[in-house]
Amino acid sequence: GQNIDQPTEMTATEGAIVQINCTYQTSGFNGLFWYQQHAGEAPTFLSYNVLDGLEEKGRFSSFLSRSKGYSYLLLKELQMKDSASYLCALTNRDDKIIFGKGTRLHILP
């Protein structure tokens, strides 16, 4: 079967760095997405990793290790507007897509 684990909640301070981890199990893994979802709004795309390594995009970076079934989302220079849920989602070669339950990130001033 397929399974995704990510922490339920995290708290960090404005201006700091936070790393949100995601571990997964699936057959025929293809790629891994990160989405951001503010309360009451629709999820929006942040990043996509298919190869091992780090993908950097401004203040946000995403890392993937296929052999370890592990990814993380790194958020730098945190801003209050980064308070949101962060969803890890994977796809496999059968075109299955599964979302994790999301990590609620609270930013303190």
Assign 26 to helix, strand or coil: coil
Q: How far is CA 75 from CA 11, 24, 60, in A?
A: 12, 20, 5
Site string for another protein, 2-41 (x = CB under 8 A): ----------------------------xx-x-------x
98 sits near another protein (criterion: CB under 8 A)? yes
Write the DSSP assignment of 46-91 as a string of letters: EEEE-SSEEEEETTEEEEEETTTTEEEEEE-S--GGG-EEEEEEEE
Q: Which two tokens stand for residue 43?
A: 């999820």
Q: Looking at 42, 55, 72, 83, which residue binds another protein (CB under 8 A)?
A: 42
96 sits near another protein (criterion: CB under 8 A)? yes
Q: How far is CA 60 from the centre of its chain?
A: 10
Residues contacting another protein: total by CB under 8 A: 24
**In the range 44-63, which residues lie near another protein by CB under 8 A?**
44-45, 48, 50
106 sits near another protein (criterion: CB under 8 A)? no
Q: Which is nearer to another protein, 34 or 63 (CB)?
A: 34
93 sits near another protein (criterion: CB under 8 A)? yes
